[in-house]
């Protein structure tokens, strides 16, 4: 079994959000997501969720 490397986990999952409409991934700060200052580049939506760790 492979072990999880903390630096790789941080790089892949920290500050990554997924658009709820078109599933486009975007990297930004949590504060900007909460304040709705980020728009999806694909569909111009403002609803995001955190990426799921698999």
Does 47 score more than 70 pLDDT?
yes
Q: How much is the pLDDT for 1?
A: 58
The answer, yes or no, to whether residue 53 has pLDDT greater than 90, is no
On whether residue 45 sits in a domain, the answer given is yes
Structural domain tally of the chain? 1
Does any domain span residue 25? yes
Domain boundaries, position 25: 12-50
Q: What are phi and psi of 26, to 5 degrees?
A: -145, 145
Strands (E), the chain: 16-19, 25-27, 48-50
Indicate the pTM of the whole model: 0.83
All residues at 6 or more sequence positions from 48 whose CB lies less than 8 Å from its CB, including other chains: 17, 18, 19, 20, 26, 33, 38, 40
Q: Which residue has the tokens 């980020």?
A: 38
pLDDT above 90 as % of the chain:
80
Task: Read off the pLDDT of residues 28-41 as tens digits, 9 standing for 90 and up.
Answer: 999 999 999 999 99
């Amino acid at each position: 079994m492979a072990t999880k490397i903390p630096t790789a986990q941080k790089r892949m999952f920290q500050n990554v959000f997924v658009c709820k409409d078109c599933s486009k991934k975007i990297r930004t700060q949590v504060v900007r997501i909460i304040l709705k200052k980020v728009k999806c580049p694909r569909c111009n939506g403002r609803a995001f969720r955190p990426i799921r760790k698999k």
